[in-house]
Amino acid sequence: MFNEHINNIQEFIEVGGFIMPPLIALTILLWYALGHRFSLLKRGSKRSVRELINLYAKDPSRPVRGIVDSAAARGVAINKQNQVNIRKHLDDSFNDFREPLNKYSRFLVTVVGIAPLAGLLGTVTGMIETFDSLGDMAMFTQTGGIAGGISQALFTTQMGLAIAIPGLIVERLLKKRQTHMEIELAQIKDILCSEPLPENRV
């Protein structure tokens, strides 16, 4: 059974030629990066940012479950220190969230752009080989004839698109989540700079 799977994988790679191993590697890297990025972009509680600020103002020991929760808890702690120019302290503290929010973003855009081009390269190479074989009539001696050769050549383009399209869709969804969280971080800073905490209200 194991040997059968190995043979199937080898046939799969042979169909697309030399470009298939890089395409398979891109697939693995793409979904690893997407999974890691998804795990990093955890908001935490579903409560609004104002509710989170009020909760952490009353109970600083409340568990932190995501980036927005962590930002609210950290912002409240800074606010309670009565720092001069609290906005600057909040900006400096919230810079730590940039890395998890942006991690793998450029890498994913690069992979999504490269995959179709790599597939096209495989197709062009396959078509060149097909026409070279056609030139000395070697293609007619193979099963499937010219159509079989062209089918093999187009397989890499299909593979490249199969990598890029789902990757692009998922990355756009993650980018939308990132943008929403960045807006919420900005809202936390605005609220903490403009309003007193519940315990400080008269």
Instruction: Please write the tens of the pLDDT for every residue from 108-157.
Output: 999 999 999 988 888 888 777 777 766 665 555 554 556 656 766 788 88
What confidence score (pLDDT) does residue 72 get? 93
pLDDT given at position 202: 41
Choose between 138 and 77: higher pLDDT.
77
Residue 156 near residue 12 (C-beta atoms within 8 A)? no
Query: Directed axis angle between helix 20-40 and helix 105-135, to 10°?
Result: 160
Cβ(40)–Cβ(175) under 8 Å? no
| pLDDT computed for residue 171 by the predictor | 95
Average pLDDT over residues 2-28: 75
Mean pLDDT across 47-66: 90
- What value does the mean pLDDT take over residues 90-119? 92
Contacts of residue 88, Cβ cutoff 8 Å, sequence gap at least 6: none
d(CA 186, CA 180): 10
pTM to 2 decimal places: 0.80
CA 122, CA 104: separation in Å to the nearest integer? 26
